[in-house]
Structure 1
């Protein structure tokens, strides 16, 4: 059967990949100096073009707070680069591994090696950080990197392609076009590792395409990340921190608190406090420069649909303004929205929200939040608020999630010495700091046999000596 003809873009993609692939095999192990040089070039790209990135991202969104871009993107990427450069020599060094007594004298070493070519499919919500943070790990590990940005941020993608091409040879690091035919072909390339950040639905398709080449994948997905407000919590403090975490980037954050579980007796008080903090921090004016726009008309309409569905099924909607208010809609800014009285049949409780909508559920008994969470897919993040250490530890022990922040939200993600990754429907694999280096390296075990080693006693012909050795091995195992 004839193969379908490839577009010029797909042919160019194939050629670029194979050029990288061949060099990854003929020149597989860049030394420390070259890796540090690549990290330095990447750092220069970010620092020299910070304002251009801010402007491009804001233009793609319609409006994006420059402070949020600086804090949640630029500073985090520069921190990743600085951390990798500082520790890279140690990470690259062979690790001494203990050798079991029965194999002595001998030694074991674990030697990190580059995988080869790493592909990165990046999302639109934090396009700089979620593109270049995994690239830092890939470069530090000695790999060549190919990046496919999101089509929803075309200005950013074009700028990234321009500045990467100015500092890197196309066989070191390359940014592709964002055409639809490129997007479909990218995941099908036989990368040595593929990193995807995005929705669970698209993540399944990426994993399926990568699986045809047995390409290992790191999937950074999303889902419905819960926040539990314990009876011992400071209600106002929890409301303030959840309100902030929910409205950063207008809720377009994969680890944003998706919904809150609060004691039924405190539900309305908590909702009022959340609304008060939201209005104090972001006001009620759609012209507020601190408040970010929704990425597209389609996503804005999706959020409107979630609110309308919840209201039609009996939920109470708390908003400073209606989403169809022209003053808000014309700027594609969705009014911060609290949804009280949600039920499982509402779409807002079935899909990841990815916007400034906060459902609040009441619970009666201490075990209800854990039971509710465990009836659903394991979340990318979980947040717990309270002062009761025993209650906290019970939740930590009985739930499984990608990560947890206690008495706040989001900040486990910023811990560079901790891994970031999901589980099940919220993702697989992890990166950040040395975790990214290890994920994108082959940690190759090597056993060095000593000339004095008696392993030859295992060889045939078997006789009395093997019986004695077998007995010794059983005793030492």
Structure 2
């Protein structure tokens, strides 16, 4: 682990706060390096995940470049001192908030969007003025090597460096005294990261996922809802932290919606499960372990009485699973007790909001929740009743693409927020500053020795409150 320690020590040598010009230059250099190596990224992700070129450009390159563009545009304003009002009791002072870098940041990235989820936090951390070590996932080795090459070309190692390795290296890194750790992955590992960070009193950003529900009521436009759900569910073959994990559909339109959902699957990915298995418009499972885990969830559900509406076929040689829809699913099945993270959609019918409550309370605090309804009052009631990190109404996935919005989970689905100004804040410490600008203020009137005038003044202030 010597090279990890060396990379860490190199970045600790100089923690001076960089100027806005320096930070913007770093971001521009990163943009240029991504541009120069874009085709190599497409090739790497096709090797690692079988991602089609269009998905690489739309869901890996675009979010990172959009983050860079947004940060460069707004960085000077974010860095400027933020004045706050001065209360009457503090006349003669001025107060403001100044964002200072947390200092030294570790980014531990996952494999499902390996470029985007490594470089997007890097952009936020650099915008905030930090030094950054990035640890990509070992499960996408070609993309990890691409990330290392791009960052090396764009930035000096004392500013940002990529280190490669597996779980042992990740565990070693999280024990080092960083000021902040940003981790994206499973809840179990997230707890270990938070425990390691606690030993150094480091702050954390944890994006952990969970079972993100989709609720559909009878008021929706069925074809539109089905098309959006089919795209969102099978994007990256369901290997998305905010993928619709299961569908709760009002019984009155369940048959129609499921039929239309299957129609949309066939339109997007092929007329039969066999065609869908060979379709190059979808990614494959990342590795044999994950492939077998998802197959195990399907087989367990079928053994307990669930039935296949479409799909239910797979090819172990290519690690591909046909888009699969299951009905007759119950909460005691394994598929309803863990995040699926694959191209399988369980469908549960509901007739009352008590039905919804029973299912949603079994899997609380998701990273995302999707609500399809034309009834704005009902949507507001659902949002008040069922917490989630993010919510999209009559839409899926797009909440992560809005740079003006913070992105993150709650409790078991995550801690902290990234993206845009929220990302800048996440990797900064807000410094409180109060500056005396006048010799004349009321504070000295409260200094000892206390007199009857002091008592009257304090009483007057308390009455004024």
Per the normalisation by structure 2, the TM-score is 0.96
1:297 counterpart (257, 270, 288): 288
- State the 1:359 CA deviation: 0.3
Q: 1:309 and 2:297 equivalent?
A: no
2:258 counterpart (249, 256, 271): 271
Residue matched to 2:46: 58
CA separation in 2, counterparts of 1:180 and 1:444?
35
2:408 counterpart (421, 424, 428): 421
In the alignment, is the contact (CA less than 8 A) between 1:197 and 1:221 conserved in 2? Answer: yes
CA separation in 2, counterparts of 1:287 and 1:376?
34
In the alignment, is the contact (CA less than 8 A) between 2:298 and 2:312 conserved in 1? Answer: no
Residue matched to 1:395: 382
Aligned residue runs from structure 1 range 371-390, under 5 A: 371-390=358-377
Q: Specify the SS of the correspondent of 1:253.
A: coil
Residue matched to 1:7: none
In the alignment, is the contact (CA less than 8 A) between 2:128 and 2:428 conserved in 1? Answer: yes
CA separation in 1, counterparts of 2:380 and 2:434?
41
Q: Closer, same or farther in 2 for the Cα pair 1:321/1:348, shift >3 Å?
A: closer
In the alignment, is the contact (CA less than 8 A) between 1:102 and 1:476 conserved in 2? Answer: no
Q: Specify the SS of the correspondent of 1:448.
A: strand
Q: Specify the SS of the correspondent of 2:118.
A: helix
- State the 1:462 CA deviation: 0.8
Q: 1:48 and 2:39 equivalent?
A: no
Residue matched to 2:121: 134
Residue matched to 1:4: none
In the alignment, is the contact (CA less than 8 A) between 1:20 and 1:144 conserved in 2? Answer: yes
Q: 1:173 and 2:160 equivalent?
A: yes
Q: Specify the SS of the correspondent of 1:195.
A: strand
CA separation in 2, counterparts of 1:128 and 1:155?
11
Q: How many residues align?
A: 460
- State the 1:376 CA deviation: 2.6
Q: Closer, same or farther in 2 for the Cα pair 1:162/1:66, shift >3 Å?
A: same
CA separation in 2, counterparts of 1:260 and 1:321?
17
CA separation in 1, counterparts of 2:375 and 2:322?
34
1:216 counterpart (198, 203, 207): 203
Aligned residue runs from structure 1 range 459-470, under 5 A: 459-470=447-458
Per-residue CA distance 1:329-376 (angstroms, 9 max, x = gap): 322111110010100111000010000000000111134324431343
CA separation in 1, counterparts of 2:351 and 2:231?
26
In the alignment, is the contact (CA less than 8 A) between 1:383 and 1:407 conserved in 2? Answer: yes
1:473 counterpart (458, 461, 465): 461
CA separation in 1, counterparts of 2:196 and 2:323?
38
Q: Mean alpha-carbon deviation: is it higher for 162-171 or for 138-147? A: 162-171
- CA RMSD of superposed structures (Å): 1.3
Aligned residue runs from structure 1 range 67-466, under 5 A: 67-283=54-270, 284=272, 285=275, 286-320=277-311, 322-323=313-314, 328-449=315-436, 450-466=438-454
In the alignment, is the contact (CA less than 8 A) between 2:218 and 2:252 conserved in 1? Answer: no
Q: Specify the SS of the correspondent of 1:339.
A: strand
Q: Closer, same or farther in 2 for the Cα pair 1:281/1:178, shift >3 Å?
A: same
Q: Specify the SS of the correspondent of 1:147.
A: strand
CA separation in 1, counterparts of 2:400 and 2:76?
25
In the alignment, is the contact (CA less than 8 A) between 2:297 and 2:335 conserved in 1? Answer: yes
CA separation in 2, counterparts of 1:13 and 1:59?
27
- State the 1:76 CA deviation: 0.9
CA separation in 2, counterparts of 1:161 and 1:245?
30
Which ranges in structure 2 are unaligned for 5 or more consecutive residues?
Answer: none
Per the normalisation by structure 1, the TM-score is 0.94
Per-residue CA distance 1:11-53 (angstroms, 9 max, x = gap): 22122212212311xx2x1011110110001111212111111
CA separation in 1, counterparts of 2:457 and 2:61?
60
Per-residue CA distance 1:276-323 (angstroms, 9 max, x = gap): 111111114233221111101111111110010000000001234622
